Amino acid sequence: MTHLRISQRAAAVAVSVLGASLWTGCSDRAPDILGPSAQRQPELSQDADLQGAIAAHKRHSDALLRIPGVVGTAVGRLPNGKAAVKVLLANRDVRGLPTTLDGVPVAAQVTGMIMAFSDPTKRQRPAPLGFSVGHPLITAGSIGARVADAAGNVFVLSNNHVLANSNDATIGDPALQPGPFDGGTAPADQIGTLAAFNTIDFSGGLNTIDAAIARSTVDALGNATPAEPPLDDGYGTPNAEIFGDVNPRDGFFDDKNTLLGLSVQKYGRTTKLTHGTITGINATVDVCYEVFIIFCIKQARFVDQLIIEPGTFSGGGDSGSLIVTDDANKNPVGLLFAGSSTQTIANRIDLVLNNFSVHVDGGATPPPTPVTDIAITSVSAPPSVNQGNTASVVVTVRNVGNQDVGATINVSLQDVTDNAPIGGSQPVPGLTAGASAAVTFSWTTSTTTSLGSHTLTASHDFGDANPANNLASTNVTVNAPSAANTIHIGNLDATTSTSGNRWSATVEITVHDANHNPLNGATVVGHWSVLGLNSDTCTSGDLGGNGTCIVLFPSLKRSVTSVNFTVVSVTFPGSTYVRADNHDPDGDSNGTTIKVIKP
């Protein structure tokens, strides 16, 4: 599942400590096989108490996750078959858990910290599914599946943290088979190049998938688990059709609730072929990606996840494995990416595949229905613009269908808030299946543009099979026109001190912007009226000051009764110093020169 990325500074300590703890949680223990005899519970989507549990989970999950020691929540079943809200605990010492929520029982389970797994085997071409793979800067994970786009290009499917180094990779980076931990080196063991990855939000936002794809070839990458002695221990070739996608066949689960209780299997680089049961759906989990000593220092929250048991279903190095139904159909269900010693966490495979507009290149299935579908996939603009200025708005158009489109596609942009078009339509000269194009609009605001939030909506005029994705929007805030970029002195204050037959003078200078707000980072240069060793230059904000800095004349003779300090210049990138705007609110200077009198 993931490698734990350990900083080089902590490596000497962390490897020995974490190696022991992770191996305990993700070891090569003999699997506790449930096998094909574990049957899916029938008609779960019709089960009233399951619907109640789903509603209670949705309503209370965020509050439960705020309880210290709670690492996840999900919808599951008690041993008696009754639906429940499951609460996953880091340890047994968690207090304050409810016994019921909205009349639904709450079942607590100690799982330990949920880790994104990775770990380390042999090189093989074409590489079977489940074999070691990884970015050059990680340890190793597993090949999940060979996937293909509408144009027939094939890719390695695995996790972001396996192929894209947890967001730190660059498109075009090599994918090595085996992974570096298993001896893979570039370029000798390169099996593909990173083509795309879904960025993981580590800042507190919600994630649904940890996934990436690397462009490969059918000569380098197989589409089945091992099938030759002595490694003929796989489940064979996964189905190209995902679980429960029948009517209509749109690439999504028809009813994800039917996943609860489903028997599944996977083949991964560490624990190889294992069998388990989906015991939780709609799971929200906090997954640790990097540990220092025993503390998680890099974490991400995932929602709408699948939980599989028993704990022996996976181990370190199985990250990226494809999870399929444990029956003759072998329909894809999930993409394994994290877990603990008691549970495995997986992304929904339908969300993964649709994110990259690919399908599993698996066993024979009916050819896909021809679909012509042009989508506006994104509208990108700065979050705000000052009234009177111009903002660039980039609209991305993609052919998400499986048919090439040769006709011109005209793209338009509308300021919905002010009911005003932004420029004219821009042509995109056709798109092959899977291809995308970006067009840029210049939105010039004016004094007639209203202040506040504006919804900008892009659309196209091409008639296709799915009008729902023919437009997309973004919001931009229009602020009041900016004041001139000028700066000035907003205050001068002087203090003195004595030592023996000497005295010193200190001047504190405050720099303001055009709106009279304190400004840090401005360089002030001044002049003392008396010669001597002194400081005459400072930068506002130094020493923690709010727009302030100080200059010092440290040793003046007692015969000097006063000394003047005059501001000569103030500089700040992109701003102009206006001496005439200088002022001093307490009146002890004119804002430009201050007289310091001997104490």
248: confidence class by pLDDT, cuts 50, 70, 90: low
pLDDT digits (tens, 9 = 90+) for 401-431: 888 999 999 999 999 999 999 999 999 999 9
User: What pLDDT sits at residue 47?
Assistant: 72
Task: For residue 71, give the nearest of 314, 320, 300, 337 by alpha carbon.
Answer: 300
The token pair that represents 290 in the structure block: 């990097």
| Bigger pLDDT: 396 vs 387 | 396
The token pair that represents 299 in the structure block: 């974490």
Statement: residue 134 has pLDDT above 90: yes
Looking up tokens 């009764």 gives: 561
Identify the structural domains of the chain with CATH numbers, from first to last: 8-29+115-360 (2.40.10.10), 374-479 (2.60.40.10), 486-597 (2.60.40)
Statement: residue 73 has pLDDT above 70: yes
Residues with Cβ within 8 Å of residue 265, at least 6 apart in sequence = 235, 273, 274, 275, 276, 323, 324, 325, 326, 330
Cα separation, 374 vs 163, in Å, equals 29
Determine the residue type at 85. Answer: V
Residues with Cβ within 8 Å of residue 161, at least 6 apart in sequence = 2, 3, 5, 116, 118, 138, 141, 200, 210, 289, 319, 337
User: What pLDDT sits at residue 485?
Assistant: 80
The tally of CA atoms less than 13 A away on the side-chain side of residue 347 is 31
pLDDT digits (tens, 9 = 90+) for 518-560: 999 999 999 999 999 999 999 999 878 889 999 999 999 999 9
3: confidence class by pLDDT, cuts 50, 70, 90: very low
Statement: residue 48 has pLDDT above 50: yes
User: What pLDDT sits at residue 232?
Assistant: 56
14: confidence class by pLDDT, cuts 50, 70, 90: very low
pTM comes to 0.54
Number of residues in the chain: 599
How does DSSP classify residue 99? S
- Average pLDDT of the residues in 494-502: 94
Cα separation, 197 vs 170, in Å, equals 10
369: confidence class by pLDDT, cuts 50, 70, 90: low
Share of the chain above pLDDT 90, in %: 71
Statement: residue 36 has pLDDT above 60: no
Q: Indicate the Cα dihedral angle 517, 521, 523, 526, nearest 10°.
A: 50
Statement: residue 367 has pLDDT above 70: no
- Average pLDDT of the residues in 118-142: 86
Q: How many CB atoms lie within 10 A of CB 427?
A: 11
User: What pLDDT sits at residue 496?
Assistant: 96
